[in-house]
Structure 1
Amino acid sequence: MNTAQRHHRSELTAGLRALATFLDSHPHVPVPKYGTVRVSVHTNYDTDASSEAEAIAEVERIAALLGTTPTVENGHHVAGAEFGSVRYEAILITQAAMARREALDSYRDAITLDDIEGA
């Protein structure tokens, strides 16, 4: 890990601690009631992976560090661990999965819905 990466990591963890301290000392500031707060690492952007295969390997490596098994579904490779209501996850969405989504979205403007009263 180079100096810039260490600095960024230190800033991130300090920011998370500062947020926790702030929320603890300001009980009237709302926090999410439902769901999980996520810290997501996208292995094709946030690591040194230079190919999709390397990014998938990063998800697998991170899963091992977290002591879990990655899930693979519809081109989404995900490894994660929960820390209370906070989830750390490593994600890779394959190019094929993104292309499928783009193809699906390409029809978006071809469909119009009638206005629904009250909606």
Structure 2
Amino acid sequence: MSPAQRYHRRELIAGLRTLATFLDGHPQVPVPRYGTVRVSVHTNYETDASSEVEAIAEVERIAALLGTTPTVENGHHVAGVDFGSVRYEAVLITQAAMDRRAALDSYRDAIALDEIEGA
């Protein structure tokens, strides 16, 4: 780990602790009522992986460190662990999955629901 990476890691951890302390001391400040707060590491951008294969391997490596098994669904490789309503996860979305989503979204402007009679 480079000095810059170590610094960023320390700053992130310190920021999370500061946030927790602040929220604990200010009960009038709302927090998310539903769902999970996520800390997501996208292995194709936030690790040293230089290919999709390496990024998938990184999800698997992180899963082992977390003591869990990655899930793979529709090109999404995810390994995570929950700490109450906070989740830490490593994520890789394959290029094929992103391409499928882009193809689906390419039709978005072709549909105008407000133009359908009775809508």
Give the TM-score, by structure 2 length: 0.95
How far does residue 114 in structure 1 lie from its aligned partner after superposition? 2.3
Aligned residue pairs total 117
Q: Does 1:48 align with 2:27?
A: no
Cα distance between partner residues in 2 of 1:115 and 1:41: 41
Paired position in structure 1 for 2:90: 90
Cα distance between partner residues in 2 of 1:115 and 1:22: 48
RMSD: 1.3
Q: Percent identity?
A: 85
- CA displacement, residues 18-61 of structure 1 (integer Å, 9 cap, x when unaligned): 00000000010000111110000000000000000000000000
- CA displacement, residues 64-113 of structure 1 (integer Å, 9 cap, x when unaligned): 00000000000000000001110000000000000000000000011111
Paired position in structure 2 for 1:108: 108
SS of equivalent to 2:113? coil
Give the TM-score, by structure 1 length: 0.95
